[in-house]
């Protein structure tokens, strides 16, 4: 996830994790080819890997922009909340999931955040590689603001980021091109079937299913949707025939749109609309 993912660790363990992800993508590609399914566009996937590399490099360079507010707020925390007890871990889990839900929903509501997040929705094929197609906005987008309340309450920043890391690991598998239904578990858990709807550009699917590991907040706040009956899901940016195979064009398209709107703005109302208006 843009802005926060760069804080989740660097070095050999992260490199090994990325290598494992690439292997899993290769296995899914081979499996779908063997089954005669066209779930991958090789050119699009190659572009995704370039985008992922750029996202990691930029995130590493700008990580301090998010670490600083986390450290400052923790220095002014209300309590010291433990992370070695069941009740506190459950509270942390729900807190991170709730913060992620509202952050993800905001990325679809405000053009400044969407400029980065739209990269994730630009792929026209839904598969595991989509999970790596993340924007280059980095911590400067303000993503960390959504998680500061948990730190202010007394959860250590490392605990918050660690729980978020677990959620992001889970979310990688939400991008499986083909996955079976999970029955009653789908009332609580976010699943590939739910997340497939989130990525779809069909009108009935827009701005739906924002959850991370669970789907309960979507059900609670009225943003849940099942796949429309009798309608094939289409992927990519809704109403935009934008690039999907050119990594630099994909990564910068949203920021070019914001910059263009600011350039054409005639007053402060137009400037506010350029960054805070709906995408």
- Domain interval for residue 35: 5-276
Q: For residue 91, what pLDDT band results from cuts at 50, 70 and 90?
A: very high
Range from 8-12, 57-61, 141-145 carrying the lowest mean pLDDT: 8-12
124-177 pLDDT, tens per residue? 999 999 999 999 987 788 889 999 999 999 999 999 999 999 999 999 999 999
Cα 29 from Cα 8, distance rounded (Å): 27
Provide, rounded to the nearest whole percent, the portion of the chain with pLDDT above 70.
92
Within the chain, where are the H helices?
12-34, 42-62, 64-74, 86-107, 111-117, 148-153, 157-172, 192-199, 216-221, 247-264, 268-276
For every residue of 215-256, DSSP letters joined together read -HHHHHHT---PPPTT----BSSTT----SS-HHHHHHHHHH
Contact between residue 164 and residue 100 where contact means Cβ atoms under 8 Å apart:
yes
For position 242, what pLDDT does the model report? Answer: 64
The mean of the pLDDT values for the chain is 89
Cα 181 from Cα 178, distance rounded (Å): 10
For position 3, what pLDDT does the model report? Answer: 47
User: Which residue has better confidence, 20 or 54?
Assistant: 54
Segment 16-26 mean pLDDT: 79
Residue 168's nearest CA partner among 117, 66, 223, 97 is: 97
Q: Which residues pair with 228 in a beta bridge?
A: none
Q: Is 0.85 surpassed by the pTM of this model? A: yes
For position 243, what pLDDT does the model report? Answer: 64
| Domain count for the chain | 1
Contact between residue 126 and residue 176 where contact means Cβ atoms under 8 Å apart:
no
Cα 228 from Cα 216, distance rounded (Å): 20
Please, which residues have CB within 8 angstroms of residue 214's CB and are 6 or more apart in sequence? Answer: 97, 188, 189, 190
Cα 255 from Cα 92, distance rounded (Å): 33
174-229 pLDDT, tens per residue? 999 988 889 999 999 999 999 999 999 999 999 999 999 999 999 999 999 999 99
Residue 97's nearest CA partner among 1, 219, 214 is: 214
Whether 102 has a pLDDT exceeding 90, the answer reads yes
């Amino acid at each position: 996830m843009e802005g926060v993912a760069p804080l989740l660790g660097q070095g050999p363990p992260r490199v090994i994790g990325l290598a494992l992800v690439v292997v899993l993508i290769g296995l899914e590609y081979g499996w779908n080819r063997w089954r005669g399914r066209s779930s991958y566009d090789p050119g699009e996937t190659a572009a995704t890997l370039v985008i992922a590399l750029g996202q990691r490099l930029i995130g590493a360079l700008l990580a301090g922009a998010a670490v600083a507010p986390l450290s400052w707020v923790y220095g002014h925390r209300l309590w010291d909340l433990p992370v070695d007890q069941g009740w506190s871990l459950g509270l942390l889990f729900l807190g991170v999931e709730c913060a992620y839900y509202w952050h993800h929903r905001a990325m679809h509501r405000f053009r400044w955040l969407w400029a980065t997040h739209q990269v994730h929705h630009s792929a026209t094929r839904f598969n595991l590689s989509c999970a790596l197609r993340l924007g280059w906005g980095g911590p400067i987008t303000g993503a960390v603001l959504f998680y500061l309340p948990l730190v202010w309450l007394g959860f250590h920043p490392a605990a918050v980021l660690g729980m978020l890391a677990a959620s992001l690991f889970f979310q990688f598998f939400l991008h499986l091109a083909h996955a079976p239904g999970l029955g009653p578990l789908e009332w609580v858990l976010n699943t590939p079937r739910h997340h497939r709807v989130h990525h779809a550009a069909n009108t009935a699917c827009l701005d739906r299913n924002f959850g991370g590991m669970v789907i309960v907040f979507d059900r609670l706040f009225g943003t849940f949707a099942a796949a429309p009956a009798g309608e094939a899901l289409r992927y990519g940016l809704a109403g935009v025939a934008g690039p999907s195979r050119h990594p630099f064009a994909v990564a910068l398209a949203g920021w070019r749109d914001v910059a263009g709107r600011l350039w054409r703005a005639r007053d402060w109302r137009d400037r506010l609309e350029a960054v805070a208006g709906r995408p």
